[in-house]
Structure 1
Amino acid sequence: MEVAMRVSLRHIEVFHVVMTSGSLTRAAELMHTSQPTLSREIATLERLLGFTLFERRSRRLLATEKAVLFHAEVQRSYSGLQQLLQSAEAIRGNTTSYLRIACLPLFSSTIVPKISVGLLREHPNCRMAMVPLDHADLMRELLALRCELGLAEVGVAVEGMHVEEVTVGEEVCVLPEGHPLAALRTISPSDLEKVDLISYTSNDAYHKRFQSFFESTSFTKNVKLETTTAEAICSFVQQGLGAALVNPITARAFAGRGVVVRPLSISIPFVVGVCRPLGRPISDFAATAARLIVQECEAISVELRRPEVWQGQTGV
């Protein structure tokens, strides 16, 4: 608490400018001051924080690992400040709203672009930003009130968050064309016991979720390749590197393009959640976005239940 009270915005500004400009000389020029003055400010900030920000080598400042970590937090704060200024501009003009939607990468190329057409048609004077993030960062942005809406797959309840859930479909198995398992109508956990698998990274919530459904199999041992998105997983499947479990939206996009999709013998619901932080009034613009997202999810759910969606695939 004492450090927080003594570190000033001036200290943070000097640190930020030095980090982004790359040198004391350039930072001094940008801030219209002298290098010795900035050196003293940096030294004071290091003393208050209790760790070294820069190493001095041959008249050069080299940022330490702790400086890089600290600057990442500073940049998030600057981003939040920019959002506040944009909101203030909208309030002052009383004509424009600005909406930041955080979403999983999956939805950044599917649902959010699709609803944006109707959203901006209904609110032609408004502006929006889409921020693709992993689940943990998405929730942090919402709870920090840096985004008004979030679009995620629902797995666990999040305290401080209102979530409107829509069951879009079921997780599915994707296989390369010609794979022996493509001859089956459904895929069971035991079918995957001796098959090379592609999965999310071991610390990812999806990986842990799928693993929990396959405890009796050698799921983890059979994972030969890990990556971070469903699109990347399907791309590897497309190259014949193994089978995988993914959401039905991504699977649909790859079906018939070197990828065969099969339902699972067990139910793993794919539930999309429209999230917003509790205690923050929702704007008309954000309320329209939430409504359109729910409608689009419901439309996708109906489409995924049509038999012809998965037609045009080849098996063995």
Structure 2
Amino acid sequence: MGVPMNLSFRQLMTFREVMRTGSISQAARALGRTQPAVSAMIAGLEDELGFKLFERRQGKLTPRPEARFFLEECDDILSRLEQTKRTLSGISKLEAGHLRIACHPAASGFFLPKVLTEFLSDKPGIRVSLMMRSSSLIEELIASQQFDVGFAETPEPRPSIRQSDFDLECVCAIPAGDELAARPVITPADLDGRRLAVLFAEHATYRQTVKAFDMAGCRFEPMFELQTFLPGMRFVGAGLCYMICDMITAHSHLAGLAAGSGVVVRPFRPRIGSRVSVLTPAHRPGSQLSEAFCNMLRARVEDMQAEMKEILGQAV
């Protein structure tokens, strides 16, 4: 049967309580209302429905068959409303919801999962979609509003994306037992003709590194060409090469991915930049959940940067 759209939540609650208790007086006590108010509520409900729900005989209410059928509908409606209320309450308390995150490879193996683990520690009802994608694809996914949060290499500004940018610097990864590990700062002259692990030629760090070597008149000798810096840490740890890599990869390695694997990091000069950004769609407001996660992510990027500066400062 169709339920009129102007039925109120209070009418449905009152009707259910009358059916449960079997009398106006008991329903009034349970609801904390007066008997006349409950009677008026039931009469108004019957007017809206267009038929009688109860027979009134000698001061007693007897449910008609229509009332018993309507009770099933009423229970279903109230159950959905109560579930909706619980869900909305959970959302407001960051206890429910779905967070869709796209992350570039450098941060997807350790850094961002670590931040996400901390964020979810007191939010067991949150569902998460975490996808590793290239930075260029993340930019498009955020611009088209397919994901809530992106963490990627900094794109060119565009109207469809809000971004918080971080200007990080690259560091030099060195085998722990190598002679260069004793030096506080590494320069192209130190790596002149030495074997390197580098990213593909189109990447900004590759171009910056080549330029630094050219300006210093030093030989640039790539041994490994990589899609991401992370596997290069194993090659460095094995003494096969050196690597000028982004700060997040270095921090992830030192913080836990391969702690004690025989790699140390040192500042590299001239400075080679590695910019990353927290990205969100600009044409729709972020949920409370995504905003809270973005706030934590930005804070943890700053914490990571401070930790790495301390580590690098100790070498100088």
TM over 0.5: same fold? yes
Local SS of the residue matching 2:102: strand
CA RMSD of aligned residues (A): 3.0
Q: Equivalent residue for 2:108?
A: 108
Determine whether 1:215 maps to 2:214.
Answer: yes
Alpha-carbon deviation of 1:156? Answer: 4.2
Deviations 1:80-111 (A, max 9, x none): xxxxxxxxxx99x6554211111112222333
Local SS of the residue matching 2:225: strand
TM-score using structure 2 length: 0.61
**Matched residue type, 1:281:** P
Q: Equivalent residue for 1:301?
A: 305
Q: Equivalent residue for 1:130?
A: 130
Moved more, 246-255 or 275-284: 246-255
How many aligned positions are there?
A: 221
* Distance in 1 between residues matched to 2:203 and 2:279, nearest whole Å: 20
Alpha-carbon deviation of 1:283? Answer: 0.6
* Greater Rg over alpha carbons, structure: 2
* Distance in 1 between residues matched to 2:126 and 2:179, nearest whole Å: 52
Q: Equivalent residue for 1:149?
A: 149
Q: Is the 8 A contact 1:236 1:242 kept in 2?
A: yes
Local SS of the residue matching 2:125: coil
Alpha-carbon deviation of 1:224? Answer: 1.6
Deviations 1:3-54 (A, max 9, x none): xxxxxxxxxxxxxxxxxxxxxxxxxxxxxxxxxxxxxxxxxxxxxxxxxxxx
Query: Structure 2 residue aligned with 1:277, among 261, 278, 281?
Result: 281
Q: Is the 8 A contact 1:166 1:271 kept in 2?
A: yes
* Distance in 2 between residues matched to 1:135 and 1:220, nearest whole Å: 30
- Alignment identity in percent? 25
**Matched residue type, 1:258:** G
TM-score using structure 1 length: 0.61
Unaligned runs of at least 5 residues, structure 1: 1-89, 312-316
Local SS of the residue matching 1:234: helix
Change (3 A) 1:146 1:310: farther
Q: How does 1:139-288 map to 2 (within 5 A)?
A: 139-154=139-154, 156-158=156-158, 160-167=160-167, 169-216=168-215, 221-252=220-251, 253-254=253-254, 256-288=260-292
* Distance in 2 between residues matched to 1:115 and 1:126, nearest whole Å: 15
Local SS of the residue matching 1:294: helix
Unaligned runs of at least 5 residues, structure 2: 1-83, 91-95
* Distance in 1 between residues matched to 2:304 and 2:220, nearest whole Å: 34
**Matched residue type, 1:240:** G
Q: How does 1:30-49 map to 2 (within 5 A)?
A: none
